[in-house]
Amino acid sequence: MELLHYVNSLLPTDPIVLQIEESIQRAGLPSMSVPQMIGRLLTTLVRLKGCESALEIGTFVGYSGICIARGLSHTGRLTTLEERELHANLARRHFNLAGVADKIDVVIGHAADSLKRMCEEERQFDFFFIDADKTSYPEYLIWATRLAKKGAILVADNVLAKGRAADFDNHNPTPVAIRRFNECLLHHEQWQATLLPAYDGIAIAEFSG
């Protein structure tokens, strides 16, 4: 049995995953939600760190946001940024179905504009999840550094870009940006980071301030 298949087979069924998959199919959207195991990782990291203020860049239809919210305390809040109104509306529906809507603020608009506004408002977060436009990952790291509380955790998905990040002859925008993000994060003076080659690659870092 393939190792990944074995690991996934151990997971009990999460009812909200089935509902989200049905919604994605009805809306004619691609299946881009994080795998359930990564969702569990998000919940675990948020809970272990005792995070109170989380920021997600890239809502899609809400599954990763649900997983983050599940790890928050009863007073914790997640702000999630989504550019497309269709995705945001589906996410709100799924947040309600999962019983976490009261912990989540959905912000619609271009992520860079929202992040700039948050910096101007001097907001700070103790957890970040980046899973949006891959070509903007280096920019998102800059914003996260400005918005991070000391000890904040950052998680970024798809940091292998389906293997293209390791192909240095591939100069297309996505693998170039992902390589730049990985190099900046792993060598950043303020982030202590590691990169796990699981699924499509997961980066995890802690902000030292």
Please tell me the predicted confidence (pLDDT) of residue 201. Answer: 97
Q: pLDDT digits over 124-150, tens only?
A: 999 999 999 999 999 999 999 999 999
* 3 state DSSP class of 154: strand
Domains of the chain: 3-207 (3.40.50.150)
User: What are the tokens at 135?
Assistant: 């070509």
Q: pLDDT digits over 152-186, tens only?
A: 999 999 999 999 999 999 999 999 999 999 999 99
What burial class does residue 172 get, using C-beta atoms within 10 Å of its C-beta: 0-12 exposed, 13-18 middle, 19+ buried? exposed
Query: Residue 1: pLDDT band by 50, 70, 90 thresholds?
Result: low
Residue 62 half-sphere exposure, CB side, CA atoms within 13 Å? 34
Query: What is each CA distance from 23 to 16, 52, 132, in whole angstroms?
Result: 10, 29, 20
